[in-house]
Chain A
Amino acid sequence: GDSVTQMEGPVTLSEEAFLTINCTYTATGYPSLFWYVQYPGEGLQLLLKATKADDKGSNKGFEATYRKETTSFHLEKGSVQVSDSAVYFCALSNDYKLSFGAGTTVTVRA
């Protein structure tokens, strides 16, 4: 079945540092790929998405590229802020369902 593996945390960074969270997937067919973000006490918010190979999703300074050859969708941000502290989930959508990674907790210190 479909599955997502993402880098385990927690990750602690200083403000303005570079952030990368690795995500790889296993799926049949051609899934869509997503990054969701969850702030404390809230539900999940869609951060960005890509629907086909070589697509780049971007939002709020975050980027991720759908790499079919390496089955990866790594999340990057060049300069993080304290407000980026959250849990980040990589996910794929196939057959009307989402498969999630385990989540990566990111803490950014001032």
Chain B
Amino acid sequence: EADIYQTPRYLVIGTGKKITLECSQTMGHDKMYWYQQDPGMELHLIHYSYGVNSTEKGDLSSESTVSRIRTEHFPLTLESARPSHTSQYLCASSDGGLRGEQYFGPGTRLTVT
């Protein structure tokens, strides 16, 4: 079982603030992913990484950015938060198989006021 951590779990922040959502995994997985999800609704892939210094945009356009400087760490940054960014953000990692499963963190619930 993979261990994948996200902080903070809950964040309430004002419009215009810069925020970084943290995601770390201890399994040495090469592949990591960020999803955006309204509670109980469909997941939308917003960013992914296949390894250090590799990042790609996902299927859903997002104003956020990501970086992958270390294998275990995949932070997501919003330069200027807006109310439309209010959502749940889920991080996941995979051990790299072409058709392998992904392991999910507990999520960060973001509210922008």
The one of A31, A51, A98, A102 in contact with B102, judged by C-beta atoms closer than 8 angstroms, is A98
Q: What bracket does the count of chain B residues touching chain A fall in?
A: 20 to 34
Chain B's interface: helix, strand, loop or mixed, by majority?
strand
Shortest B47–chain A CB gap in Å is 12
Distance in angstroms between the alpha carbons of A36 and B35 in the assembled complex: 15
The one of A31, A45, A102 in contact with B99, judged by C-beta atoms closer than 8 angstroms, is A31
Number of A-B contacts (CB under 8 A): 58
Measured between beta carbons, the chain A residues less than 8 angstroms from B109 are 41
Give residues in B with beta carbon < 8 Å to A: 6, 31, 33, 40-43, 45, 48, 50, 90, 92, 94, 96, 98-107, 109
Give residues in A with beta carbon < 8 Å to B: 30-32, 34, 36, 38, 41-46, 49, 51, 87, 89, 93-98, 100-103, 105
